[in-house]
Amino acid sequence: MKQYVFGHQNPDTDAIVAAIAFSYLQNQRGYDTQAVSLGEAGPETVFALNYFHTDAPKVITNAKPDVDSVMLVDHNEFQQSVADIEELEITHVVDHHRIANFNTNSPLYYMAKPVGCTSTILTQMFIREEVKIPKEIAGLMMSAIISDTLLLKSPTTTEEDKLALKALAEIAGVNYEEYGIEMLKAGTNVDSKSDKELIDADAKSFDLNGNNVRIDQINVVDFNDVTKRKDDLMAEMQKEAQSENYDLFVVMVTDVLNSNSKMIVYGDKANEAAAAFNANLDNDMVDLPGIVSRKKQVVPALTDALK
C-alpha cells in the first residue's frame, strides 16, 4: 500500500529534501513510498535540486484519496501538516522540532532528536540501516543541513550536524563552504517577491500558551532589502492577522552571512513580543543581534513572554 512522505507546509530545503531522502531509505527497506511536498520549492531549494539533478516532488494539499497512511518529516504539529492529516494514519515521524498538537490512534515509529536538521537524523539512519546514500541525495541532505544551520553557525547546530555534513559533503564530492554560501545567497532574493509572498513564504503557525502566533522568516544578505518595505509588509501582516485571527504576527529578517536578525511585529501582543527579547518596539521593529533560530531562540522566548 503506497504511502506519502512529506515535510511541513511552506516547505524549506530540509522539509523537501528529508522527504526525498526518507522516501528513498524506506523504499530500500521494502516500503512503497513517494516523496511529495505541501508547497512549491523556494529558490534556495530549487538551487539545490538543480545542482544535484533532482526533480522537485509533486505538490499536494490533501493526501486522500491517493493514500491512507503517511510518514512525516521535519514537522509533527497538525496545523503545519497536510490539510486532511486527521483522517490519515501516521506510521512514521522523523523530526527535530518540539512535539505539540500531535496524536495518533495507533503505535508508530517516532524518531526525534534535538539536532540542527532532520537530514542529520536521516544520515544516521542510513548508516544504521547500512543503506548506501546515493551521491545526489547526499548532496541534497548536505544542502538541508547548510540551510537549517546557516552553515553550522546557528545555535541549533550540534556535533552530530557537523559530522553528518562533512560525511555527506565527502559523498557528494563538494566543497560545502563554497557551495553553502552560493546556496544561501540563492535563497535571499527578496526583490522578486510580492509583500504577500514575503510574509508567507517561510511562515509557520504556533499555539503559544493559547495565543495564535504566526512567525515568518526571511533570509537576506542586506536587511535594507526588506526593511525598506516595512510599511507595505505591515499592511499585509495586518490584513492576514485579521482574517486568520493571529494574536501576534512576527516576521524575522535574518542576515544569513552575519547571523543577526531583526523582527517586524504586528498584533495585540506586539509589546510582549519585544519584551521577550528585553527590547522595545522601535517603529514596529526589534533588533535581535545574534538571533537566527525561530525554533530554538524565538519560539521559546515568545512562549515565556506570552504566559
Interface positions with Mn ion (CB under 5 A)? 12, 14-15, 74, 118, 148
Q: Which is nearer to Mn ion, 5 or 15 (CB)?
A: 15
| Cβ 75 vs Cβ 58: under 8 Å | no
Minimum distance from residue 158 beta carbon to Mn ion (Å): 13
Angle at 91 between CA 215 and CA 103, to 5 degrees: 50
C-alpha cell at 175: 566543497
Q: Which is nearer to Mn ion, 18 or 138 (CB)?
A: 18
Q: Which is nearer to Mn ion, 13 or 211 (CB)?
A: 13
Minimum distance from residue 250 beta carbon to Mn ion (Å): 17
How many C-beta atoms surround the C-beta of residue 135 within 10 A?
15
What is the distance between the alpha carbons of residues 12 and 298, in angstroms, rounded to a whole number?
Answer: 18
Minimum distance from residue 28 beta carbon to Mn ion (Å): 22
Minimum distance from residue 42 beta carbon to Mn ion (Å): 11
Order across the sheet with 204-208: list the strands. Answer: 204-208, 211-220, 248-255, 260-266, 285-288
Kind of pairing between the strands at 89-95 and 285-288: unpaired
Minimum distance from residue 30 beta carbon to Mn ion (Å): 26
Q: Which is nearer to Mn ion, 163 or 235 (CB)?
A: 163
Shortest-Cβ-distance residue relative to Mn ion:
14
Contacts of 149 (CB under 8 A, 6+ apart): 116, 117, 156, 157, 161, 165
Contacts of 11 (CB under 8 A, 6+ apart): 37, 38, 39, 41, 42, 45
Q: Which is nearer to Mn ion, 36 or 285 (CB)?
A: 36
Q: Which is nearer to Mn ion, 213 or 270 (CB)?
A: 213
